[in-house]
Every structure is written in C-alpha cells, then in structure tokens.
Amino acid sequence: MWARLLFILLTVYVIRRAILFRRSARSVGNIPGYRILVNTNSTYAYLIAPRIRGFSQGMNHYIRDKHSIYARAGCDIAAHVSVFPDKADLFVADANVTKEITTYRARFPKPVELYDSLSFFGYNVVASEGEAWKKYRKICAPSFSERNNRLVWDEAVSTMNDIFNNAWENKERVVVDHFLDITLPVTLSVISAAGFGHKMTWKGDKIIPPGYQMTFQDSLYMVATHVPIKVLLPEWVMSLTRKTRQIELGFKELRSYMVEMIETRKNSEKEERHDLFSNLLEANVGDGKTECLSADELIGNIFIFLLAGHETTAHTLCYTFALLALYQDEQERLYQHIKSIVKDFRAPTHSEMPLLTRSLAVLYETLRMFPSVSHIIKRSAEDTLFTVVNAQNERVTVPVPKGTDVNIDVLAMHNNPKYWDDPSTFKPDRFMKSDWNRDAFLPFSGGPRACLGRRFAETESVIVITMLVAQYQIKVKEEPRFANESFEMKKERLLKTAVGLTLTPIKVPLVFTRRT
C-alpha cells in the first residue's frame, strides 16, 4: 500500500515537473538550445561540473561550444531550459540585441544576488545596482583619467625593468614553466602602485611581512582562486581540512592587508594624489555634502579593483604570449612594427602609445579569443521581445518574460562568423583595420556598465607586450613527451582553459631568448 502511494506521489511530482518544464520552454517561444535536468548556470554549477547529455551542460560549455550551439540552431539567441530549477535562461550572441541589452540598463539590470560571492568583504561597484552602483561609479570614475594612465604606463615600465633586471637577471635565455607566474605579479605590481600608491618589487614581495603568514600576492591569489569554495561551504566546514583552513587564512590575511593599507594612507603625510585609493578614502571620510562609503564598502571596493585590475589582465597577458609563441609569424610582424617606432632598446614613452597600433591589435585579438568574462548576466525587468535574423534570413521574434535571466554570450559572439572571418585563428590584422564591428566586441562589457578600468588595462597591457617582444623572442618550451605533437595539438595544450571567476590558462610553458 505504502509503495503504491509513493509511486502515485512520485508520478504526480514527475508530471508536475514536466508541465513546468514545457511551460518554461513555451515562455521563450520554444527556441532551440539546451534542454537539461540541472542548470549549471545556477548555484548548482559548482557541484555538477561534468557534461552529461540531458542532465547538465557542464561548467565549461561556453569554452567548448563557443558559437556551435547557435550555428546548430540557426539563430543567435538560444534558450537553456532546465527542470531544476524550472526556468528558461536566454543566451545571446547577436550584436544588435547585445547592444540593446547593454544600452538600456533599467530594462536589463544586473541580478545582484548572483554576485554575492564578490561582496563578502563589502558591497562594491561590481556587485551592486541602482543608486548604490551610481554612488560607487561616481566616486571611482574620476580616478581612471589620462593623468592616471600616464602613471600606469610609468609603473608598468618600472615593473618590466624589475622583471628583466631582478627576476630574470638579464639572462640571455629564460625558461618559465607557467607564464602566469610572471603576469600575476606584474599586474599586481601595476595596480598596487598606480591604483593604490603601494610600490612593490619582484624580490621584496616574496618576503612575508612581520605579523602575516602569507605575502600580499599569495593571499590575493588564494581568494581569487577559491571564491566558490568560500561561498558554498559553511564556516564550520572551513576548519576541517588543511586546504580549507589555508583558504580561510587567505581571506583573513587579505582583509588585514587592506585594513593596513587604509591605516597607512590615513596616517601618512597629506599630499595631492590622483589614484583610485585617494578617491575611495575621501569618500569614506565624507565632506557632509555627498554620501560616504562605509568601512565595509571601502574594503569591498578596494578588493574588487585589486581583483579586477590584477587577475583579468594577468590571464589575458598569459594568453597573449601563448598565442605569440604559437604564431611566430605574427610575433615577427609585431616585433618589426615595434622596432619601426622604438628604434633603440629604450622603453617606449606614453606619448608613443597611439603609434603602437599592432600591440593593441594583438591585445584585442587575444581578448576576442579569450575574453576574461565569458558571459554577462542581466535580468529582464519587464516583458519584452528580441528580434533577430536567422540563418535563413528570416526575422525571428523571441518573447522575453519579466524576470528572465538574459546572458550575453561574449565568447560565442566573439566566435560568430557573421562578425569575424575564420574566428578560431589568431589574426591581429582584423583590428588593424578601421571597419571591425565594435558592437560585436565586448571584453569590457558595454553601455553605462562598461568596465571603468578599460584604458588602465589597455595601457598596462600595451607596454608589457611591447617591452617583452622588443627584448625577447618567445617560443613554446620544448618537452620530449610532446615531441611528436602537431601544431593543433600544441595549440590545444597551450591554450587549455579552466573556468574560475574569469577564464584561466592552465599551463603555459615558454622560453624567452634575448634578441640581438
């Protein structure tokens, strides 16, 4: 009897779930895409990583699929419909629809609850919307000025010279087992100096200061790498294993470093500064006329700019040099371009940045292939419609119910052959022309919520790329176990990517040989 009752209840439950699933698919016009049991775009993402057909699309489906799901559907909008939770998410790889989403911020706000994992130190400009976001942006925006970009340039030059002289000790040949071990400290040094007035040196930052158990760099790396674990696991679990205790320590150490930075600057002699830190501190004190930042908001915004100004650029630069090592002809074109502008071995000046067009093109092509953020989540604030033209050149109207999560699929749009010829191939020349599609290039997002630090990142990256290529020829490290691999195999190995807060290169072993 009990077994029969249980069977009936289970049958009713399954039927109800099936009805909700069909209703979700109909709500977005039954457009093609994924039809799955568990949606890995939700909190479940960190618990269900593998791809199982009909069960989950897998955490790395953005990297694996790129534009293929849209090509199969014949339409640049796709729907991911799941049973758990019963919902339909829309994914967009169409430039016109993407522009509509990013332009009309009020119609497509950021679902801030999905960004709680970035606000454990305090609310900040990334994990906020509405009036709070306006306040944070108003405080932070003036820091990203042309005056600050000149400072970024100078600090990046100083950091690269520190690498050449102290890390590599001016050797003729340098072997690096994973180039991310170089780019992470480089970008941290630049954001620390140009954004927060905290000078770092290659050797100095390897020393753990008194009262700490980790270096500043190691604590920031620990936090950036293990945000999902910290968010998902309750506090009592964090004390159970050596690994989780180390993660917990990383979070505590980073907070201590940020508090120390605040106290040191507040107690230092007053001088006119034009960095981000000064603006944040002034907002924390307040002038009685404008809203001020609370202590948690101050630390939260310091953290988010340290993270965004350090990790994303480090990963991009690592991919950049992997691509240049793979595509030797493109590296040679870049070298000849640099030498046509900087004719000796000096570092280029900031005034020469507009001339270094190929360095910027190489950066842009890397960002096209490996955007730091693979997709940008928005939520429809009202019932609306999207209109696209499908592969048969027919107009397709897609209903977008209020509350629907709308994902700008940056990686798919960057690999959409409608906008980019031969998108899987590294071709910086596409950015040397004036007619490339700006609306189909979104590594810094777009509209009012576009990345505040875009020029900061571009300035820093151009000088790092230019100085390294001018001084060294870059090749992939040869290893006996990979002696017989083809170019495509080598490319796949070197560009293998992990999914974290941003796209992350797994291992990029390179050899740098000094040019003569």
Q: Which residues are annotated as a binding site for heme?
A: 451
CB 372 within 8 A of CB 312: yes
CB 137 within 8 A of CB 125: yes
Phi, psi of 416 (to 5 degrees): -80, 115
Q: By three-state DSSP, how is residue 473 classified?
A: strand
What are the contacts of 332-338 at 24+ separation with CB within 8 A? 333/358, 333/428, 334/358, 334/359, 334/362, 334/428, 334/465, 334/469, 335/469, 335/470, 335/473, 335/515, 338/466, 338/469, 338/470
Greatest alpha-carbon pair distance for the chain in Å reads: 89
Q: How far is Cα of residue 304 from the mean position of the Cα atoms in its chain?
A: 12
Element spanning 399, H or E: strand 395-400
The amino acid sitting at 44 is Y
Tokens coding 206: 């390897």
User: Which ranges of 58-129 would DSSP assign to H, the alpha helix?
Assistant: 61-65, 68-73, 95-103
- The neighbouring-strand residues paired with 399 are 385
CB 400 within 8 A of CB 28: yes
**CB-based contacts of 394, cutoff 8 Å, min separation 6:** none
- Residues making up the annotated binding site are 451
CB 463 within 8 A of CB 400: no
Helix axes 130-140, 295-308, angle to 10 degrees: 70
Describe the chain by its helix, strand, coil percentages, rounded to 5.
Answer: 55, 10, 35
Q: How far apart are CA 350 and CA 151, in angstroms?
A: 9
CB 367 within 8 A of CB 379: no
> If you ran DSSP here, which 8-state letter would residue 31 be given?
-
Give Rg (Cα) of the chain. Answer: 24
Q: By three-state DSSP, how is residue 363 classified?
A: helix
What are the contacts of 400-405 at 24+ separation with CB within 8 A? 400/28, 400/90, 401/27, 401/28, 403/379, 404/27, 404/28, 404/88, 404/89, 404/90, 404/379, 404/380, 405/41, 405/87, 405/89, 405/90, 405/111, 405/377, 405/378, 405/379
**CB-based contacts of 172, cutoff 8 Å, min separation 6:** 513, 514
The amino acid sitting at 47 is L
Q: How far apart are CA 44 and CA 56, in angstroms?
A: 10
Q: By three-state DSSP, how is residue 231 classified?
A: helix
Q: How far apart are CA 470 and CA 339, in angstroms?
A: 7
